[in-house]
Structures are given as structure tokens and as C-alpha cells.
Amino acid sequence: MRLDKILSNSGYGTRKEVKRLVKQGAVKVDGVVAKDSGMHVNPETAVIEVNGERLNYREFIYIMMNKPQGVISATYDLRHKTVVDLLTDEYMAFDLFPAGRLDIDTEGLVILTNDGDFAHRILSPKSHVPKKYYALVEGKVTGEDINKFRDGVVLDDGYKTMPAQLSVISTDECSEVELIIHEGKFHQVKRMFEAVGKKVIYLKRTAIGSLTLDEKLKTGEFRELTEEEVELLRPE
């Protein structure tokens, strides 16, 4: 891999800025001052130092974010703030993107990464990775609703959803529920409840597969996944 790409991916600036660092003699590879920012280096084996500090190169980054309402799951948008906009500068060089989407008015777990294969595993319809949601729903959610969700409900466009697991936390004029779905159609959770005559008034994703949203993360906050958490979402 080119040295300038390694350094740029590690947060040392643009290729142009990295080239300037190299010209200044600030970069060493295996103890030798680098002369060419375009030289090829194996980041797994080479000792790379910048201003005397050893570089701990990471090709892939995995982040858990508690997405707030009003923020869209995209890398760029002219009208709305995106999940990428919430990241700090140290992550900007990694070209992170959200592995999946949450509606603009839905809160909760979003994963950001630059690992395309990892994201595909989460997003692929063939994987059927379960997603868990907490919702507040207008009206009483009944045992009949639970059975309908278990059998799959027909949405407004005629599509019948895969079986989903609906459980009731409390029910009154407004019901608290948890829902696990295994696919990700457009506005799916809201449309499923509309199909049984209910309206979602608050929605939060709390888990993807075996990965649960860290309760310590306030809305808008994020942290990197641990190696163990990353493995939870890898194919068995």
C-alpha cells in the first residue's frame, strides 16, 4: 500500500499534506527517513513513525452510534445533518459510511464502518440479520396484533413481511413494545403497525443481531466497537 494512503487513512491529513510531512523528513519507515510519499509499504509488518511516534495502522474502523432524531443515515446531504457529520475530525480520513439506515425521526443504533464486506453482511437480505426496536405506539397493542406480526403482515403496497416477534412491555392508550424484524423495507416498522391500525409515535433501534446499543451512549454520541463486538456481527 502507498505510504501516503496509509498516513492519510490514519488521520495525518490529505495526500498533499502527507507529502509535505515526508518532504520535511518527519516520516520514517523501519528506521529510515522516507523520501517518497508514494513508496509502497506493508502496514502490517513495517514500523512507521511520524514525528517520532509509532503509527498503529488500522485498515478498518467500526463505530457504534446512538443516532438522534433529525439526523439522516447518509454520508452527505445538503439539507440535513448526517451521521458522518457527528463524527470527530480524527475519523474523517477513513471514509466511513453507515451500514444500514434509520429514518430521520428514528433514534438508536447505527453502525459506521469503511469495511464493505462487513457492511454487506449486515445489509444483505440473505443474511436476515435481526434488528430490535423499542417503540411507543398509539392505542392498545393486543394478542391479535402479536399473532399477526408473527405470521407476517401485509403492507400498504401488498408486500407481506417476514414473521416478526412483537412483545408488549405495557399497554394502555399508548403501548410500549419491543419488535424484532429480519428485513429492512422502507419505513417498515411504522408501516407494519399501520397495517394493524396503530401509529408509531416514537421509535428507537436497540440492537442489530447480537450487538446491543451501549446504554451509556447519549443520543448523538458514538464509540468504536470492541473486537468482541465486531465478531458478534461476522458470519458464523
Cell of 185: 423495507
Instruction: Say which of 103, 105, 115, 157 is annotated catalytic.
Output: 103
Active site residue 103: yes
As beta bridge partners, residue 170 has 176
Going by their DSSP bridges, the two strands 174-181 and 165-170 should be labelled as: antiparallel
Give the integer Cα–Cα distance in Å for 71 and 63: 16
Query: At 231, is the secondary structure helix, strand, or coil?
Result: helix
Give the list of residues 6+ apart from residue 18 with CB closer than 8 angstroms, or none.
3, 4, 7, 8, 12, 37
Give the integer Cα–Cα distance in Å for 108 and 202: 11
Give the list of residues 6+ apart from residue 228 with CB closer than 8 angstroms, or none.
none
Cell of 112: 459506521
Catalytic residues: 103
